[in-house]
Amino acid sequence: MNIHTIADHLNSLADNSDTGMSFDCQPISGEVDVLQISILGREELPIFVSVTEDQIICITYLWDVEEVKPDSLSAMHESMLEMNIPMPLSSFSKIGDKYVVFGALSINSSFDDVEHELAVLSNNAVEVIDDMSDYLL
């Protein structure tokens, strides 16, 4: 499985997605090829997918460090840690100055598993932004 086969599959689903979501996939070439996946109605929260030898990594960028109220940083981190385990198929991280939510799958996952992970990750990103809004400027 690679980003191109994932893109082909998701783009071919159209309205036949098991998740009810419509995907728009754009490969991004680089040192590591990445697939940018936009979900209809959630274009502001694209998911970036990369494939390694043993896993598929899916990442959504949430907000920049500068968007966090300075006096709320510690409380926000505490809330994120408490939310991490009950949030299905997703975890928090920080890449540079950006907070992200991510999930990983086995390279042997089915296309249905990939579609499900993308849907859950997108839903989680929307929920996290709503839940953490009090900590953001």
Q: Report pLDDT digits (tens) over 72-109.
A: 999 999 999 999 999 989 999 999 999 999 999 999 99
Domain hosting 70: range is 3-135
Query: How many domains is the chain built from?
Result: 1
Helix (H) or strand (E) holding 9: helix 3-13
Cβ atoms 21, 122 nearer than 8 A: yes
- Ranking 14-23, 41-50, 54-63, 68-77 by mean pLDDT, the lowest is 14-23
Cβ atoms 121, 85 nearer than 8 A: no
At 59-69, the pLDDT tens digits run 999 999 999 99
* Residue 13: CATH number of its domain: 3.30.1460.10
- What predicted TM-score, i.e. pTM, was given to this entire model? 0.95
Closest to 76 (Cα-Cα) out of 48, 58, 88, 84: 84
- Kindly give the pairing relationship between strand 47-51 and strand 55-64: antiparallel
